[in-house]
Amino acid sequence: MHRLLITGGRGFVGRAVAAAAASNGYAVRISSRLQAPTPMSAVELIQVASQGPATDWSRALEGIDCVVHCAGRAHVRSNATDSLPAFQTVNVDGTLNLARQAVAAGVRRLIFLSSVGVNGVETALGRRFCETDPPAPHNAYATSKWQAEQGLLAIANKSALEVVLIRPPLVYGYAAPGNFGALVRAVHRRLPLPLGCVRNQRSLLALDNLVHFVLACASHPGAANQTFLVCDGQDLSTPELVRALARAAGVHVALPCIPVPALRFAATMLGKRDLWQRLCSNLQIDISKARERLQWQPPVPVAAALHAAIMGENQ
């Protein structure tokens, strides 16, 4: 496969996939809601309206071999009871609309960026999520990703379209959005973080490792109609993560030891239970399937990836 369409090609992940694909000889097209020029001269830009069940993808899909679907409604903090329909409109209906049009356009493969949240919100210490676990999506975002996965597999079963489902954990790198970006800023500011008593283990995924895996899935015949969990292959506790970032930045960050139950209580009272969950709970991933089926290994070590993330943020 040599012609790629990357949806959400201006986003954190899509932009990196597009750059790497172009440098590896792919003919790359990205879709974006914005018509502004792309900074990558080797990449073609097609303007596409906001993703939904009625979006016309015909121009973007013309001549494409493989779609890397990064666009979607991102996970946002919301306690709204009606949030699931909003996620479903974009992440389910919009994704399946794209897939059906991909079938009609003769696209051979579609890679869907899902989420490890389909598996659940946490693991017991020493227990790892794997592809054969029963799904346990814990919020509207993860539920919409699970529903989209099921719809894609149903389309693949009735057509020649090959589907690849990728469930990453937190993806980090330079200018990462969300919690990782906030953590990087806190480290640069040398803010004390009350996490010294946390004894968890979490699987993370460097952006460069995710990009490498996506491109492997674009070409490897063994990826067709498969689901993969993927991570760096080296888990860290939250205090280990903070110390590694601080070392890379050349600063010292105090980690006061406040008991985890007290942190949980405070987070709950402040309406930050989700943040406590991400900072203090365990979430570990087994990537044996990716290693054995695709002969894939994460190319970038964790220490190097964290150093690039923290130093890039400071430039």
Query: Residue 137's closest CA among 148, 121, 113, 150?
Result: 121
How many helices and strands, by DSSP H and E, does the chain display? Answer: 12, 9
CA atoms of 140 and 267, how far apart (whole Å): 21
**Contact assessment for residue 3 and residue 26, using Cβ atoms and an 8 Å cutoff:** yes
Give CA–CA dist 75/82, Å, rounded. 14
Q: Give the C-alpha separation, 28 to 2, whole Å.
A: 8
Residue in 170, 124, 123, 116 with CA at minimum distance from that of residue 146:
116
Compute CA 109 distance to the chain's CA centroid, rounded to the nearest angstrom. Answer: 19
Query: Which amino acid is it at 53?
Result: P
10 Å CB burial of residue 77 (0-12, 13-18, 19+) is exposed
Q: What's the half-sphere exposure (Cβ side, CA atoms, 13 Å) at 2?
A: 2
Which residues form the catalytic set?
Answer: 141
**Contact between residue 232 and residue 205 where contact means Cβ atoms under 8 Å apart:** yes
* 68 backbone φψ class: left, alpha, beta (φ>0; ψ -120 to 50): beta
Residue 267 corresponds to which tokens in the numbers above?
């987070």
